[in-house]
Amino acid sequence: MQYRKLGRTGVEVSTQCLGAMMFGRVGNPDHEDCERIIHRALDAGINFVDTADMYSAGESEEIVGRALKGRRDDVVLASKFFFPLGNERNARGGSRRYLVRAVEASLRRLGTDHIDLYQMHRPDWDTDLEETLDALTDLVRQGKVRYIGSSSFPADLIVEAQWAAARRGGARFVCEQPQYSIFARSIEDAMLPAARRHGMGVIPWSPLAGGWLTGKYRRDEAAPAGSRFAPSDDSNWKGRTVDTDPSAPVRFDAVERLTKIADEAGLPLTHMALAFVGEHPAITSTIIGPKTMPQLEDLLAAADVRLDPAVLDAIDEVVPPGTDIAGIKHLTGNPSLEAANRRRPR
């Protein structure tokens, strides 16, 4: 395992970050097994763990908190806020009112007195960004949070957040967590350069494109049981299946071409996909999200894989730099894309 500085902070994190989204009823409901996975990751050299309050409605944070007892000081612990956990109208977003409640709830579930990296899970287009940054700054000054970050922010909002923090003399986002994989490369155009210019760390999510870049989804075959696109399965996400995804044919074509490239390089497709993300100079640490111990062992085996320029050039032929494959959504929720904001009122 290798380590890199998290942006311009003095903190070193492992080049693999253990993502805890699959810990809890949404993924692996066996708490003891999840804790074993966490301990195995730490023993392998991972010192960076990322969770969120909305993962399994707080269950993931509780699992992570129990697993880190006795090892808390050895781990850079990250969590996120934004999404609603209940039906209360104001229990969501980036308002000061919600933030002071959300952080206390996360600290309680995690069983710790501070969160090393507290991230805004999505942009809140309905709340003044300066209100959010001021509230986060207060949490830093109170010692409840060490650093703050963003997730799925577009390049312009990343820059605006840096300027707002500078104007007000407050804490700035030191890290961005975007979607990035061979399938989702549009952030190479503006978002990653913006993060580099402002000295931000970058910790991508979904480097395997929801499992597509493991090769487990194959043309004319049913999705494996337990996968997120398996029909009639508790793991299925929002009723989606490979058969109903209109972008599936394009993805199958790309996976077949990428598998050939990986085979010629002597690598499993999963390892090539993870290594691809880490090759970009803006990337600090790649989030891996295992649900089982065998998945973790496979992902750990990719930690030190590097790709030759010829392999990277071949990947560029399949998905060109700065572009996305069909069906990718970056989930910023930007209201500027809504019809009412793209057309003059009549």
Radius of gyration of the chain (CA): 20
Q: All domains of the chain, ordered by start, with CATH?
A: 3-218+268-338 (3.20.20.100)
> Which residues have CB under 8 Å from 148's CB, separation 6+?
117, 118, 119, 120, 133, 136, 139, 140, 171, 172, 173, 174
- If pLDDT is split at 50, 70 and 90, which confidence band does 346 have? confident
Which among 132, 125, 190, 187 is positioned nearest to 164, based on CA atoms?
Answer: 132
pLDDT at 323: 97
The length of the chain is: 346
Residue-wise pLDDT for 270-329, tens only, equals: 999 999 999 999 999 999 999 999 999 999 999 999 999 999 999 999 999 999 999 898
- Mean pLDDT of the chain, nearest integer: 94
Structure tokens at 312: 């990277």
Q: Residue 228 pLDDT more than 80?
A: no
* Confidence (pLDDT) at 238: 55
Instruction: Provide the pLDDT for residue 231.
Output: 62
User: What six digits make up the tokens of 80?
Assistant: 């996120």
Residue 237 pLDDT grade (very low, low, confident, very high; cuts 50, 70, 90): low
Distance between the two ends of the chain, CA-based, in angstroms? 59
DSSP 8-state class, residue 28: B
d(CA 189, CA 194) in angstroms, rounded, equals 9
The per-residue pLDDT for range 194-207, each reduced to its tens digit, is 999 999 999 999 99
How much of the chain, in percent, has pLDDT values that exceed 70? 95
Closest CA to 272 of 290, 260, 282, 283: 260
Binning pLDDT at 50, 70 and 90, where does residue 239 land? low
pLDDT > 90? residue 233: no
Res. 83: pLDDT tops 70: yes
Q: How confident is the model at residue 227 (pLDDT cuts 50, 70, 90)?
A: low
Q: Distance (Å, rounded) from C-alpha 319 to C-alpha 272?
A: 14
Inter-helix orientation angle 248-265/269-279, to 10°: 90
What would the pLDDT profile of 24-80 be if each residue is shown by its tens digit? 999 999 999 999 999 999 999 999 999 999 999 999 999 999 999 999 999 999 999
pTM (2 d.p.): 0.93
> How many degrees, rounded to 5, is the angle at CA 313 between CA 151 and CA 204?
10
Specify the pLDDT at position 19.
Answer: 98
pLDDT digits (tens, 9 = 90+) for 253-275: 999 999 999 999 999 999 999 99
328's CB contacts (< 8 A; 6+ apart) are 179, 183, 184, 186
330 compared with 193, residue with greater pLDDT: 193
Query: Cα 144 vs. chain centroid, distance in angstroms?
Result: 22
Give pLDDT tens digits for 10-31: 999 999 999 999 999 999 999 9
pLDDT at position 235: 52
What is the mean predicted confidence (pLDDT) over 225-251?
Answer: 69
Q: What gap in Å lies between CA 119 and CA 322, rounded to an integer?
A: 25
Q: Which of 3, 55, 118, 147 is catalytic?
A: 55
Check if 55 is active-site. yes
